[in-house]
Chain A
Amino acid sequence: MTRVNLTVNGRAREIDVETSKLLVHAIREDLGLTGTHVGCLTGDCGACTVRVDGATVKSCSVLAVGAEGADLTTIEGLAGEDGLHPVQRAFWDEFGFQCGYCLPGMLLTACELLEDDPDPDDDAIVEAINGNLCRCTGYAAIVRSIRCAADRMKDTP
């Protein structure tokens, strides 16, 4: 076992993992945060998306031991004390998800997009989520939700 120190959603955590353990499994099994989903384990589907030092990554393609010292944000870290994050709220209001399996990845990817580009057009939104697969194929509602979140967030100082 190897000791790994992380900051997880703002809190210092330490876990002991085998070198072979994927970050997605460490998040679910050792950190107990099951909002991060296991999908394809090939890096294609994006269900395991988390943010490592601010950058979205597919946590099935990262070794947990490689995350030593990382600042990790999972879907559980998105909502604040006063409720849902604006991107979550927009997905809720616009019916932006069906089964919900891809949702954590979609939300974290959308957050990164809106930090980089607060007013993306639909092409930029589609491009940003092309590493997140929705097997319900509800992409139109997802794009609409991200558009809604962008409109609301730019109106909020």
Chain B
Amino acid sequence: MITQNFAYHAPTDLEGVVAALAGHDAVIVGGGTMVVPDLTHGRTSADVVVDLSRAGLSGITRAGDTVVVGATTTYTRLLRDGGEQVPPLRRIAGGITGGPQIRNRGTVGGSACYANPSSEVPAVLVALGAELRLVSAAGVREVAAADFFTGAFTTARRPDEVLAALVLPGPAGPFGYHKLKLAESSWPIATAACVRLPGGGLRLALGGVAATPLPVHLESDDPGHVRAEVGRVLTEPWSDVLADGDYRRRVAPVAALRAVRELRATEESRGIREPRSAQEGEPR
């Protein structure tokens, strides 16, 4: 049980959320799957809890050449309703740890704001070049995903701000992804997500292997280059009960290679790229 009572607000619109946050260091509850157990176990405390579930922040809409994913869009909603506009998020939604109960309740915005190094959402947002739309009484600002995640469980969101939406560049092109986890009910050890950039090269982001998602710019999908760049950026690997830093350092390049290989295979199957020549070889 939660030992401390708190003021509870469930505003019915964004303005109400902003008003409830002003002047408080409130705990924001999206789906509650991580924050409520934290309250139960005393890992976080609150004088004020602001519940976003009635604030109308769920849903997926097109806006110009972007796709806007409301912060409280659940994984189940991504799988069922509009998720085809954001295939990478739909893809990870199906494999979220914790079963359908967590998919029904857990939100992509909540995962971003919680910033667990082991979560899948943060690195995918970095790979896609997403912006996070933060709203407060002072106004609206959009922060690039690469700048949003400032440390393990910490983000650039100020206490008076609420994450209203994730803004993804569209249309979604081919996407490569690989997740390494060692048991069905466990957290990922390493994830790698990548897209091809219009100007050439790839934007890859590693998740689970460091305190924050690690962006890796790749000039090509040459396996030696991928290994070298991953090794160069992964200077402080994350250690936890699931895997130590040395293990993560070893598996991160493999996850990256597999994501790049999947991206390439998707491009080839769609006729965007020619099949790899024999000289190039397959990623190991």
- Hey, which bits of chain A sit against chain B, CB under 8 A? 2, 18-22, 25, 41-44, 46, 49, 55-58, 60-63, 65-66, 68, 109, 112-113, 126-133
Contacts and interface: CB of A to CB of B under 8 A. Distances in A.
A19 B34 contact: no
Interface stretch (B97-105, B121-129, B208-216, B249-257): B97-105
B101 A56 contact: yes
B150 interface: no
A25 to B, nearest CB: 6
Contact of A41 (B37, B51, B102): B37
Contact of B100 (A41, A109, A133): A109
B198 to A, nearest CB: 36
Nearest to A1: B5
B185 to A, nearest CB: 5
Main secondary structure, interface of B, reads: loop
B32 A62 contact: yes
B53 interface: yes
Interface stretch (B6-14, B58-66, B153-161, B237-245): B6-14
Given A42-B41, A61-B105, A63-B8, A132 B36 contact: no
Contacts of B29: 63, 66
B179 to A, nearest CB: 14
Nearest to A108: B101
Contact of A43 (B5, B37, B100): B37
Most buried by B among A42, A63, A126: A63
Given A19-B7, A63-B36, A131-B100, 18 more contacts: A2-B8, A18-B5, A19-B5, A19-B6, A25-B1, A42-B41, A43-B37, A46-B99, A46-B101, A49-B101, A56-B104, A60-B40, A62-B32, A66-B8, A66-B32, A126-B184, A129-B99, A133-B185
